[in-house]
Amino acid sequence: MPKATHIPGKKVSQGSYSAFVPAPLPPELDWTPRLIGALSDADRLIGRLAGEGGRLPNPHIFIRPFVQREAVLSSKIEGTQATLGELLAAEAGATVDRSPDDLREVGNYVVALEHGISRLKKLPLCVRLTRELHEKLMMGVHGHQAPGRFRKIQNWIGKPGSTVATASYIPPPPGEVEPCLAAWEKFLHESTLPPLVTIALAHYQFEAVHPFLDGNGRVGRLLISLFLIERQILPTPLLYLSAFFEASRRDYYDGLHGISERGAWNDWLEYFLLGVARMSEDALSRATRINQLLAQWQKKVSGESSNNPSRVVELLGANPFITTKGVAEKLAVAFTTAQRAIERLERAGIIKRVGDAKRDRVYCATALLGILEEPARLNPTAEK
């Protein structure tokens, strides 16, 4: 079969530079055995993850640290330095040595994703929802003046300090942004391609349009998670590709540029589908180990006269950091009752005190944090 060709877009002269306007999706695809195999692997593994995700004991609690992990990794790609441990500790009420702006940017990602999941009950993935996500993402972020609004000036992509003359990529002029996104939305709603191929193409297109002055990468990655939920491919947001994109950052950008420069759709699709397969395995491994750990801890504290230690173990599933005040509030018990339950977990070796604060002590289930913080393995089937 001859290799399919597709002109990915057109260059539009803007005087001293030319901007790229991507052609409407879908392109003509070359369904090679390699691409079909990549799609088959991705479909099989994400299906397995969906099955396991549906059997999680408390998915609404259990998913939150996964959401926060994605927020940290997605923000890291953009240069934000907050770690998952810092985000979780700050949320639990601990004082952390990190810029409030960094923590706010990562926290906003969590807020935006949770907003998107809620809105999907009434609204499909669309341009309007995209703007809402951006507004949540950029709210209160230092130096950002246009949350939820498309850019009115030309932007570009390049190394730090680059100008429009030295940029590696120049997205469409401002006047082309809304027409491009209208075509993007139409494709999302009308595509008859396999869902994973649809979202891979839509992710490229969104990044090619680059409709906002800032936050395009994070919004684009949010849209992947929301698409998988909207299409009922996953019951909850268990799969996050930011870890894969971060670990293979050069390949990620090369894949996007390869389409704009030479129509290399298959290279991008194979890369994206490999990411879905690898991160499905990674999430499955992580979720299984966390589940086993929580079950072991529940067994350790079972048979007590009070069920409060068991209830604290449940709280650790949502955040491995706890404080006595936080436990007392969440369980609606007295401060001294919460402290006794925490001391029981401390004696069992489940949590340990971190920091040296005399008051407002912070405790951490370090084994649980370790599973959440470990780097993604690009080949999770291989044993360490």
Q: Rounded to whole angstroms, what are the CA distances from 200 to 118, 168, 169, 265, 373?
A: 23, 22, 20, 10, 26
Query: Cα dist. 203→12, 153, 164, 218, 229 in Å?
Result: 22, 22, 24, 11, 15
In a domain, 292, yes or no: no
Domain final position from 252, 282, 312: 282
Query: Structural domain of residue 277, as residue ranges?
Result: 9-282
Residue 381 included in any domain:
no
d(CA 105, CA 99): 10
Are 44 and 193 in the same domain? Answer: yes
Question: Is 288 domain-assigned?
Answer: no
Q: For residues 80 and 74, give the distance between their C-alpha atoms in angstroms, rounded to a whole number.
A: 9
Q: Directed axis angle between helix 249-262 and helix 265-301, to 10°?
A: 150
Cα separation values, 293 from 18, 316, 369, 383, Å: 55, 11, 11, 19
Nearby residues of 269 by Cβ (< 8 Å), 6 or more positions away? 29, 35, 38, 39, 197, 200, 201
Instruction: Identify the CA nearest to 281 among candidates 376, 373, 380.
Output: 380
Q: Which of 271, 290, 288 is nearest to 378 (CA)?
A: 271
* Tally of domains within the chain: 2
> Cα separation of 209 and 216, whole Å?
9
Q: Which of 282, 311, 344 is the last residue of a domain?
A: 282
Q: What is the pLDDT of residue 3?
A: 47
Task: Please give the average pLDDT of every successive group of 10 residues along the chain, which has 384 residues.
Answer: 62 92 96 98 95 69 76 78 82 76 83 94 96 93 80 91 91 97 98 98 98 93 95 88 89 95 96 96 88 91 85 91 93 94 95 79 93 76 37
Candidates 210, 212, 237, 217; CA nearest to 225 is 237
Helix (H) or strand (E) holding 353: strand 352-354
Q: Which two tokens stand for residue 317?
A: 């599933």
- Residue 119 within a domain: yes
Q: Is 266 among the domain residues? A: yes
Q: Which ranges of 232-362 would DSSP assign to H, the alpha helix?
A: 242-247, 249-262, 265-301, 308-318, 324-331, 335-347
